[in-house]
Amino acid sequence: MSHHRSRRDFLRFGAGLGLGYWLTEGFQADNTRTAAAAAPGASAADQAAPPASRTTVYIMTDLEGVAGVIDSENWCKPESRYYELAKEFLTLEVNAAIEGFARGGATDFLVADGHGYGAIHPKLLDRRAQLARNWSPPYPFSLEKGMDFAAWVGQHAMSRTELAHLAHTGSFSVYETTINGIAVGEFGEMVFCASQLGTRTIFGSGDLAFAKEAQALVPGIETVAVKRGTIPGRGDECNAESYAQRNLAAIHCQPERAREMILAGAERAIRRAKADTNFGIVRLKAPLERVAILRKQGDQPKRIGRASHPDDVIALMNSPLKYEPLRE
């Protein structure tokens, strides 16, 4: 995500409807049967056979956790000199995950382009995938009840994470976000949304700090670390501007090697998830409260914002925060 504006801002006000998950399961099944019947050499038995059971994987994506994406300034914005290469790196990592999930039995894939400026290259995206982009309201970013599994590719760690690469939560201006007292990043926010909808979180790839964050929140999740940050400390002393420049040092896997690791990890994840149904759902106890603290930025002091909801985490995430100066 860009540090200039938050994920919420970019994804709420993006123009158009994107290629969201607009096909119903029935329409997909009809297309599948039609394609099978029209295939050259399809037998009468093939045409009469009932459709196989389908497994849908929702894949949330971001850019800062991709192998080879070195920093935000040069890689993560439309004016960045390596932006198109970064989009290619991300899309190929997503394709690797799709191939792994497919080898493990998944049949349908919805890819949500979660980077603020957008980072999926539609021309390069695996033809088996659908692409979702531009949401209003943003949460749950085209994730729908009935989708089987959720996965993350290119994800970075939350703000204040030690030894993380390009860590932030929505934007570099956010100091910390909690839900019911649990510190969460962009990953955690969506895990709770997915869990409310009954979708199990099974896989995540990104930097090593993110992998540890994911494992702590979702015991049993399969993770793949494609790089690791090398800056110690949490950066609590930083304002928004200096925090954006803080966590730049990292050691990266070569991108092709990273994709091999993601493919293997995705296949492991879905095979494990099918064999063991006891992981991937993280419940919150009602009532719900979200608290966000913003770093000092320009002339603005440190601020705190709160939102609450009786029992719906998706509604909570779409609720505006009411900010006031933080008294420390």
Q: Which helix (H) or strand (E) holds 255?
A: helix 255-275
- Bridge partner residues of 108 (DSSP): 56
Beta strands, E only, 103-255: 108-113, 129-132, 149-155, 174-179, 182-183, 200-207, 222-229, 250-252
Whole-number Å distance between alpha carbons of 295 and 248: 19
pLDDT digits (tens, 9 = 90+) for 23-58: 334 334 344 433 444 444 444 444 444 456 999 999
Answer for the pair 309, 315: CB distance below 8 angstroms, yes or no. Answer: yes
> Look-up: residue for tokens 């890819």?
111
Query: Which of 42-56, 80-94, 294-308, 310-324 is predicted with the least confidence, judged by mean pLDDT?
Result: 42-56
Q: Between vectors from CA 17 to CA 13 and to CA 21, what angle results, nearest 5°?
A: 125
* Pure H helices in 125-207: 186-197
Answer for the pair 167, 157: CB distance below 8 angstroms, yes or no. Answer: yes
Q: How confident is the model at residue 240 (pLDDT cuts 50, 70, 90)?
A: very high
Q: Looking at the predicted structure, is the pLDDT value of residue 236 above 60?
A: yes
Whole-number Å distance between alpha carbons of 144 and 296: 36
- Can you give the pTM of this predicted structure? 0.86
- Bridge partner residues of 56 (DSSP): 108
For the record, the structure tokens of 219 come out as 């015991």
- The highest-level CATH class for domain 56-275 is alpha beta
Identify the DSSP state of 109: E
Whole-number Å distance between alpha carbons of 108 and 129: 7
| Predicted local distance difference test score (pLDDT) of residue 296 | 97
| Predicted local distance difference test score (pLDDT) of residue 44 | 44
| Predicted local distance difference test score (pLDDT) of residue 37 | 40
Domain ranges of the chain: 56-275, 290-325
Q: Looking at the predicted structure, is the pLDDT value of residue 11 above 50?
A: no
Whole-number Å distance between alpha carbons of 14 and 92: 24
| Predicted local distance difference test score (pLDDT) of residue 261 | 98
pLDDT digits (tens, 9 = 90+) for 249-263: 999 999 999 999 999
Q: State the angle between helix axes of 255-275 and 83-103 in degrees (0 to 180), rounded to the nearest 10.
A: 30
Answer for the pair 117, 85: CB distance below 8 angstroms, yes or no. Answer: no
pLDDT digits (tens, 9 = 90+) for 261-301: 999 999 999 999 999 999 999 999 999 999 999 999 999 99
